[in-house]
Amino acid sequence: MTAISEFRTGAAIRFNNDIWIITEFHHVTPGNWRAMVRTKLKNIKTGRVIENTFRMTDEIEAVRLDSKTMQFLYEADNLLYFMDTKTFDQTFVPVSFLGEQRQYMKEGNTCTIHFLEDEPVTAELPIFLELEITQAEPGVRGNSTSNLMKNATLETGAKVQVPLFIKEG
C-alpha cells in the first residue's frame, strides 16, 4: 500500500476492486481542513471516468503496468496484430481495444501498449504521426472570415480538418 500523496497523473492504482489510471491529480488544502487530493480516475477495462477525493492519509495499492513499444502489423478477423520491437513476440487485440485511435493507425506504425500481468490493457499512439492525405476539398480563400480550415481524408480513412494550404499527397 502506498500513500495517495506519492501518486501522480498517469499512475495505475487498484481502487474498488478495479484497475484505474489517474488522469487528473490536484492537491487541495481548503481553509482549516486537512489536505486532500481530488482525482479523476479512468477504468482501464470499461473506459469509465469517475471523480474521487482522497485524504492525504489514505493508502492505495499501486499497480505496475509494463510498457512495450509495439509495431502494428495488420488487421484480420476483427483483431489487430502487433509485434514487440525488441523481442519480436506477436500480440493480438480486438479492434475495439484502440477505440477512436484505430482510425490513425496504419501498418508499420509503432505505439506503446501497457500490459497488466501479460494482458494488454491500454495503448498510446505517438503524439505525431505522418499520414498521407488522400482526398482534400479545394480551398477557396474568400469563403470564410476566420477559421480557414477544410475537410480532408487520411490514407487510413480518418476524416480531419486541415488548413487551406494543405493539398492531397
What CATH number does residue 93 fall under?
Answer: 2.40.50.140
Q: Domain limits at 90?
A: 66-124
Q: Is residue 168 part of a domain?
A: no
Residue 144, pLDDT score: 58
Q: State pTM to two decimals.
A: 0.72
Residue 143, pLDDT score: 58
H or E element that contains 22: strand 18-28
Q: Is residue 8 part of a domain?
A: yes
Residue 100, pLDDT score: 84
Q: Is residue 111 part of a domain?
A: yes
Q: Are residues 97 and 50 in the same domain?
A: no
Q: Are residues 9 and 54 in the same domain?
A: yes
Q: For every one of its 169 residues, what pLDDT tens digit does the chain have, with 9 covering 90 and above? A: 788 777 888 788 898 888 898 888 888 888 878 888 899 998 888 888 999 998 888 888 988 889 899 999 999 999 999 999 999 999 999 988 888 888 888 899 999 998 888 888 888 888 888 888 999 888 766 655 667 888 899 988 889 988 888 888 8
Q: Are residues 11 and 35 in the same domain?
A: yes
Q: Are residues 87 and 113 in the same domain?
A: yes
Q: What is the number of structural domains in the chain?
A: 3
Rounded distance between C-alpha atoms, residue 108 and residue 124, angstroms: 15
By C-alpha distance, which of 34, 99, 111 is closest to 70? 111
Q: Can you say how many angstroms the Cα of residue 8 is from the centroid of all Cα atoms in its chain? A: 17
Q: Are residues 90 and 116 in the same domain?
A: yes
Q: Are residues 16 and 47 in the same domain?
A: yes
Q: Is residue 37 part of a domain?
A: yes
Residue 81, pLDDT score: 95
What CATH number does residue 55 fall under?
Answer: 2.30.30.30
